[in-house]
Chain A
Amino acid sequence: MVNRKYNTKEIALGAAFLLLLLVVVTLYILYQAEAVQLGYRIAGLEDRVARMKEEIKKLETKKAGLLSLRRVEGIAREDLGLTDPKPGQVLYEGIDIPREKKGR
């Protein structure tokens, strides 16, 4: 059996190829790792969005409760001392309703 002698050029080429392979594999692993990381982040953000949506719904429901007419009327009458308008105090926009003249 005769051992073939590699010349320096061939060894350098082989080393370069191996290095390139190593770089590619490393980059691929890094890419994969980054993709997984991004996947986690996306999943986390999606989860956060879902939670925020739920929070919005919760706040909307709370707002609906706070704006309930019974509560608003209670505040208007008891805290602010407002009363119902008398018939003459209601103005109708865009409708020509003559007002009674004073002093007649």
Chain B
Amino acid sequence: MRGLFSNGMRPRAVALAMVLAVWFVAAFGRLVDLQILNHGRLKAEVLGQSQTDMEVLPKRGTIFDRNGKILARSLPAQSVFFSPLKSESAAKQMEQVMRLKDPLRLSEKELSRIRTRVQKKESFIWIKRKIDPEAAGRVMGLNIKGIFLQEENKRFYPLGTLAAHVLGGVGIDDNGLAGVELQYDPLLEGEKGRRLILRDARRRSYQFETLKEAVPGNDLYLTIDETIQYIAETELEKAIASSGADWGTVIIADPKTGEILAIANRPVYDPNDYPPAVPGEGVNRAIQHTFEPGSTFKIITAAAARELGRVGLGETYDCREGSISVGGNLVGDHKRLGILSFPGVFIESSNVGVIMIAQEIGERNLYQMIKTFRFGERTGIDLPGEEYGICRPLSSWKKSSLRIAIGYEISVTAVQVLRAMNVFATRGRLVRPSISLGAGVRGLSGPGTQEPLKILSEGTASELAEIFKRVVDEGTGLSAKLEGFDIAGKTGTAQKFDEELGRYSSAKHLASFVGFVPADDPAICMIVVLDEPKGLMQYGGQVAAPAFRDISARVLRYLRAAPKPKAETLVAAKMAKARRP
């Protein structure tokens, strides 16, 4: 028998041993490379292929109206994502995605976005987010490798366009972008969670592992009343349709607390499809649009005259000329008026009379009262993007600036004018408007429940409220008159400045009416603003006052405020009672 190391076998044995040694060294070397030299990189690569750490968005809090009606709520919705195999080519990966084109109705833009991300070799790609349950079922039925569903939350606004500008809207990641959704985003959004997606080498199956639970956001109760909001919106629509105005806004508030019951704007958008397609639709004109108010601003001049200027109620003003020069600019009345008393000037809304009163009280007193009413400052309403308005300091006033007394050369927002009129409704108190009742619990102190500021004596406020009542009973606001209720208000018709002509236009107006009802014990304070009404009727008393009346009638009926009995029927009632045994 020949041994292994016999002469014939030895070279072969040595050769085999060497081959084995080389193989062993190579294998060992490779092991060192894998386990020691490139261990970190390779481990990260494996984990990257088998695990994906992703953010879990929390369920956003629900928004309710003051009566607990749902205005916005987040509900589960499925999102489709693609987790491709790195070993597959981009073309093959796109082939898989293309199978979803029809079931998900993917647009070319969406496909292009996905293609770019596939080419970048990203491990997690959203295909389509927040799809309807039927589409989700179709996707899962296709059983495409690397395509998964992820449950997310979608924001629903069940009342559609109602209170759109108050609610605002959210982005694709449920982050507030406008309105209370933005203002109270930290409160509503909750806390994000983290989730680990585990996959096998071929990614045939997967598993979710929660690393951190998402904490849902808090609910929010608004001061808005769904019914009053609806009334405001439908009546505003009617007013715009009948007047041909470009846009309009209505704000209704509780005078005592400053709680906003409705903010209506037209044009409007659907918050379910945020952001709005037309950029202008997203503007909350109640707080984000400034304008020269015109005659509604005369309430400030009246306050200054009585509180600071010591102008007597019995004083008269000769308005027979029909116009007056202010710093070289001619200011005229809407019609030729006679000699008017102090109340008469405001009841008839005489520009000439008000300028005379302003000259009497002086610029300083007028400016002081404007600042007392906080014009040129935000009202502090808890909505984002509120404008300051423009109120130039007294030092930069020109001679023509006295026109501020009739609502020119000053820029205000609708909510500022409403707050100013509310001072008369509350008999001298400046109340901050608010939109939120609080989070979680109804009735919790909201930002608007701070102590109101007393800025006008009760005597002056009551006296002027009585004059504003006569504006509706016998003056320019006659069309706001409502059977059974006393309304105190002021009309406003401001000529708009035409940039092209370089002067105020006689054809373009901003019509408004601001007031409160019932005048003696106000339930609501409201402003109606209509921009550029067309046709023959363009004055505030002609287009905004009727809208004010119609909204008031419906809101007061809803609030179960009973009308005053007629004087004649009151007598009849007494007689009827007297007949009783």
Q: Tell me which residues across on chain A come within 8 A of B572, comparing CB atoms.
A: 98, 100-101
Q: Which of A90, A96, A101 contacts B557 (CB under 8 A)?
A: A90
Residue A54, interface by CB 8 Å? yes
Q: Is the CB of A97 within 8 A of B562?
A: yes
Residue B392, interface by CB 8 Å? no
- As a 0/1 sequence over residues 372 to 394 of chain B, the CB contacts with chain A under 8 angstroms (1 = contact) are 00000000000000000000000
Q: Is the CB of A92 within 8 A of B560?
A: yes
Residue A48, interface by CB 8 Å? no
B-side interface size class: 20 to 34
- As a 0/1 sequence over residues 80 to 104 of chain A, the CB contacts with chain B under 8 angstroms (1 = contact) are 0000000100101101111111000
- As a 0/1 sequence over residues 53 to 66 of chain A, the CB contacts with chain B under 8 angstroms (1 = contact) are 01001101110110
Which B residue's beta carbon lies closest to that of A69?
B230
CA distance A96 to B79 in the complex (A): 60
Q: Which of A61, A95, A99 contacts B158 (CB under 8 A)?
A: A61
Q: Tell me which residues across on chain B come within 8 A of A96, comparing CB atoms.
A: 573
Residue B209, interface by CB 8 Å? no
Q: Is the CB of A97 within 8 A of B557?
A: no
Q: Is the CB of B162 within 8 A of A64?
A: no
Q: Among A62, A69, A87, A93, which residue has the most Cβ atoms of chain B within 10 A?
A: A69
Least CB distance from B185 to A in Å reads: 21
Q: Tell me which residues across on chain A come within 8 A of B569, comparing CB atoms.
A: 97-100
Q: Which of B70, B159, B226, B576 contacts A98 (CB under 8 A)?
A: B576
Residue B455, interface by CB 8 Å? no
Least CB distance from A33 to B in Å reads: 24
Q: Tell me which residues across on chain A come within 8 A of B160, comparing CB atoms.
A: 65, 68, 70
Q: Which of B70, B156, B562 contacts A92 (CB under 8 A)?
A: B562
Q: Tell me which residues across on chain B come within 8 A of A99, comparing CB atoms.
A: 569
Q: Tell me which residues across on chain A come within 8 A of B565, comparing CB atoms.
A: 97-98
Q: Is the CB of B75 within 8 A of A61?
A: yes
Q: Tell me which residues across on chain B come within 8 A of A62, comparing CB atoms.
A: 158
Q: Is the CB of B230 within 8 A of A70?
A: yes
Least CB distance from B87 to A in Å reads: 36
Q: Is the CB of B75 within 8 A of A58?
A: yes
Q: Is the CB of A64 within 8 A of B159?
A: yes
Given contacts A60-B70, A69-B230, A98-B570, are A54 and B158 in contact (CB under 8 A)? no
Q: Tell me which residues across on chain B come within 8 A of A57, comparing CB atoms.
A: 73, 75
Q: Tell me which residues across on chain B come within 8 A of A101, comparing CB atoms.
A: 572
CA distance A93 to B73 in the complex (A): 36
Q: Is the CB of A54 within 8 A of B75?
A: yes
Residue B76, interface by CB 8 Å? yes
Residue B30, interface by CB 8 Å? no
Q: Is the CB of A97 within 8 A of B158?
A: no
CA distance A87 to B550 in the complex (A): 12
Residue B69, interface by CB 8 Å? yes
CA distance A56 to B556 in the complex (A): 34
Q: Tell me which residues across on chain A come within 8 A of B562, comparing CB atoms.
A: 92, 95, 97
Within 8 A of A (CB), among B536-550: none
Q: Tell me which residues across on chain B come within 8 A of A73, comparing CB atoms.
A: 234
CA distance A62 to B557 in the complex (A): 28
Q: Tell me which residues across on chain B come within 8 A of A68, comparing CB atoms.
A: 158-160, 162
Q: Is the CB of B162 within 8 A of A70?
A: yes
Q: Tell me which residues across on chain A come within 8 A of B226, comparing CB atoms.
A: 69
Given contacts A65-B158, A68-B160, are A54 and B69 in contact (CB under 8 A)? no
Residue B563, interface by CB 8 Å? yes
CA distance A57 to B484 in the complex (A): 43
Which B residue's beta carbon lies closest to that of A93?
B560
CA distance A99 to B568 in the complex (A): 10
Q: Tell me which residues across on chain A come within 8 A of B227, comparing CB atoms.
A: 69
Q: Is the CB of B573 within 8 A of A98?
A: yes
Q: Tell me which residues across on chain A come within 8 A of B162, comparing CB atoms.
A: 68-70
Q: Tell me which residues across on chain B come within 8 A of A90, comparing CB atoms.
A: 557
Least CB distance from A97 to B in Å reads: 5
Which B residue's beta carbon lies closest to that of A92?
B562
Q: Tell me which residues across on chain A come within 8 A of B55, comparing CB atoms.
A: none
Q: Is the CB of A64 within 8 A of B573?
A: no
Q: Tell me which residues across on chain B come within 8 A of A92, comparing CB atoms.
A: 560, 562-563
Q: Is the CB of A87 within 8 A of B158?
A: no
Residue B483, interface by CB 8 Å? yes
Least CB distance from A19 to B in Å reads: 43
Which A residue's beta carbon lies closest to that of B71?
A64
Q: Tell me which residues across on chain A come within 8 A of B563, comparing CB atoms.
A: 87, 92, 97
Within 8 A of A (CB), among B52-82: 69-70, 73, 75-76
Q: Which of A61, A87, A98, A100 contacts B73 (CB under 8 A)?
A: A61
Q: Tell me which residues across on chain A come within 8 A of B75, comparing CB atoms.
A: 54, 57-58, 61
Given contacts A96-B573, A99-B569, are A61 and B156 in contact (CB under 8 A)? yes
CA distance A17 to B189 in the complex (A): 63
Q: Is the CB of A64 within 8 A of B557?
A: no
CA distance A100 to B573 in the complex (A): 9
Least CB distance from A77 to B in Å reads: 11
Q: Is the CB of B230 within 8 A of A64?
A: no
CA distance A58 to B227 in the complex (A): 22
CA distance A69 to B156 in the complex (A): 17
Least CB distance from A37 to B in Å reads: 22
Q: Is the CB of B70 within 8 A of A54?
A: no
Q: Is the CB of A54 within 8 A of B76?
A: yes
CA distance A64 to B71 in the complex (A): 8
Q: Tell me which residues across on chain A come within 8 A of B158, comparing CB atoms.
A: 61-62, 64-65, 68
Q: A62-B158, A65-B158, A70-B159 are in contact. List 14 more A-B contacts (CB 8 A).
A: A57-B73, A61-B75, A61-B158, A68-B158, A68-B159, A68-B160, A69-B162, A69-B227, A70-B234, A93-B560, A97-B562, A98-B576, A100-B569, A100-B572
15 interchain pairs, CB-CB under 8 A: A61-B70, A61-B75, A64-B69, A68-B162, A69-B226, A70-B159, A70-B230, A73-B234, A90-B557, A97-B562, A97-B565, A98-B570, A98-B572, A100-B566, A100-B568
Taking Cβ atoms with an 8 Å cutoff, the residues of A that contact B are 54, 57-58, 60-62, 64-65, 68-70, 73, 87, 90, 92-93, 95-101
The 8 lowest CB-CB distance pairs between A and B, nearest first, are: A98-B573, A65-B158, A64-B158, A69-B230, A64-B70, A92-B562, A95-B562, A98-B569
